[in-house]
Amino acid sequence: MFVARSVLFGTRAALGRHASSWQATVVKYAEYGDPEKVLQEYHETLSQDLEAGNVALRWLAAPINPADINTIQGVYAVKPPLPAVAGNEGVAEVIKVGSAVKNVQVGDHVVPGIAAIGAWRTHSIVPAADVLKIAADLPLIEAATLTVNPCTAYRMVYDFVDLAEGDVIVQNGANSAVGQAVIQIAAHKKWKTINIIRDRPNKAETVEFLTDMGATHVITDTDFKKREVISQLPQARLGLNCVGGKAVPDMIKLMEDKSTLVTYGGMSRQPMIVPTTAMIFKDMILAGFWITRWNKSNSVEDRTKMLDDVVTLMKKKVLKPPVYEPVMLKDYQQAVKRAQEGFSGSKQIFVMDDHSFSKITQELKALGVSAAPKR
């Protein structure tokens, strides 16, 4: 059954040298709501007669991020016109270009240059301006997960505070994909990190996992009740918050005067609590960050430089991806369910055919990405 699907929907031999169209499988939603209920699989025919500025893509892999779930639910800042194909991030191979396209050519690997590009599909036709070329030799698992989490971490640690060797970053949600990227970049730059995680039965396992990655200190949210733990920690110049709510006052206790707190998420779904004393007596700076807004506000050249820098860190093995679980696109219902559970310890990543599935499985082993503790 699987071989038949892969022949129909995208092996290299069947990309259409003689056919006039491609048959694409897409995972689409016609209304906002629970992803397990509103997502449906469709089959579409795409003509090979491209407009001059368009490119045809064969999608290779695409992860499930929290933003994808929120977009489908209709609670995210990006709301694509309905019906919409799900997926904000991924990697694709260019299989045909229009006559006016200059930025990419057939065989290039590309990533989305816009939000809500609709990556949960086997094929698509998009304007060439909507994609950015990346190194074709970058492992698929890293290429597919390049543009959101590692870039968010990269921008936050470089854009808000001019950190020097030995300076301290404090972050909550430290075992998230962004948190893990922050830990690795900081270790490379010889910055120290205080990493806050939720208390859990497997605390020791999680602490060991993050410490092996380069974390300087790992504490739980309940450790703030223990004066002997908190009093021994250094003060941070930069704070990174993805939780919000009551977690923020705890972080502020570990931050210097005139330090900067950057908020990039709100996992608690509670309003952020900032003590008045932090603003008056600590003279703290509060800022927000959203990678989508940064992308819109910066040039293609700036965005390409960022991607090149992150890719360099990946190729040097400074930055490794979190643990991912490859899932065939046809099994999207199972993957979405696991992604919403949030405790599997591994991020779900769609792969579109058996070739990509095999390649990503081998890459994960080669990258030395071992099993992560459950969140």
Positions annotated as catalytic residues are: 76
Please tell me the total number of residues recorded for the chain in this structure. Answer: 375
Instruction: Write out the two tokens for 235.
Output: 């003060």
Q: Which of 212, 219, 179 is nearest to 196 (CA)?
A: 219
DSSP state of 147: T
Question: Which pairs with CB-CB distance under 8 Å and at least 24 residues apart come from 69-74?
Answer: 69/35, 69/336, 69/339, 69/340, 71/116, 72/29, 72/32, 72/33, 72/35, 72/38, 72/39, 73/32, 73/33, 73/34, 73/35, 74/32, 74/33
Q: How far is CA 21 from CA 60, 69, 128, in A?
A: 19, 31, 19
Measured distance CA(25)–CA(121) in Å, rounded: 5
Angle between helices 300-315 and 149-159 (to 10 degrees): 100
Instruction: Write out the two tokens for 202.
Output: 């497997």
Contact between 89 and 145 (Cβ < 8 Å): yes
Cα atoms in the 13 Å half-sphere on the side-chain side of 83: 11
Spatial strand order in the sheet of 217-220:
217-220, 192-197, 168-172, 236-241, 255-263, 285-288
Measured distance CA(56)–CA(126) in Å, rounded: 7
Neighbours of 216 (CB within 10 A): 18
Query: What three-state secondary structure class fits 159?
Result: helix
